[in-house]
Amino acid sequence: MFVHIDKAAGSNIQHALRPHMKVTGRSKLRRLPGLLGPLNRVGGLYRQLEFSEHAPAEKVQRCLPPEVYAGLCKFAFVRNPWDRLVSRHAYLLRKTEHGRSREVNELGGFDAYLRWELARTGKRGGMRHQADYVLGPEGNLIVDFIGYYERLEDDFGEICRRIGVPASLPPPKARAPRQDYRSLYTDETRELVARAYARDVELFGYSFDDPAAGLNRDLPSLVS
């Protein structure tokens, strides 16, 4: 079960795994029973359930019988919060068909975008904390593996080993090299992100100055 956190290589991971998945057409009607939560366990209703692309693990856990959820290999990939925001900004500038693209293009630069985005954090349409995707209601990790964007190839290889599929990530798209995310921040905006995403920074061991910080971190309650 892949928990897709936005702007952490999720689309590439989906693309790599799709040949090994049973893909069904998307249906908003099949998502509606998700509102029933644990009632989906009655009569096997959960078997017809479809979750949204970025559904957090806790939502899936509520809908599935405990033994079914426990039997899944559950994984997610995370990314440095400062870098993730820069990636989100570039995406919204480029993806003109996105509903927020025009608004972001009119903001006038990354600094203005950052303040706009942070004001929306936790609200509908805003960037969620990455911790929200992988923690249960009691604050414990409810996935089996956390991969890091910063070592994507190695961690994706580990997932393929665990689930037993010979998948490989698609080659990177040809785009102009993006500048180091740290060059886009001031001392003030750096601290704004540190406060807004403090849970992600602490849980995953990230820091502003070291993009690779946290890669050797032992996450509590994580199944090896």
pLDDT tens by residue, the chain, 224 residues: 999 999 999 999 999 998 888 766 566 655 555 656 776 676 676 767 778 888 999 999 988 889 999 999 999 999 999 999 999 999 998 888 877 888 888 888 999 999 999 998 777 777 899 999 999 999 999 999 999 999 999 999 999 999 999 999 988 775 667 789 999 999 999 999 999 999 999 999 999 998 776 676 666 444 43
Across-strand partners of 148?
A: 78
Does 214 map to a domain? no
Three-state DSSP class for residue 199: helix
Does 224 map to a domain? no
Q: Which domain holds residue 170?
A: 2-204
Does 213 map to a domain? no
Does 218 map to a domain? no
pLDDT confidence of residue 222: 46
Does 210 map to a domain? no
pLDDT confidence of residue 23: 64
Does 173 map to a domain? yes
The residue type of 18 is R
Instruction: Yes or no: say if 19 and 43 are a contact pair by the CB < 8 Å rule.
Output: no
* Of the candidates 32, 79, 39, the residue with the CA atom closest to the CA atom of residue 63: 39
* Of the candidates 132, 129, 131, 100, the residue with the CA atom closest to the CA atom of residue 116: 100
> What tokens were used for 68?
């079914």
The CATH number assigned to the domain holding 164 equals 3.40.50
DSSP 139: S
Does 116 map to a domain? yes
Handedness of CA 117, 120, 122, 123 (dihedral sign): negative
pLDDT confidence of residue 76: 97
Model confidence, pTM: 0.86
Does 88 map to a domain? yes
* Count of structural domains within the chain: 1
Neighbours of 191 (CB within 10 A): 12
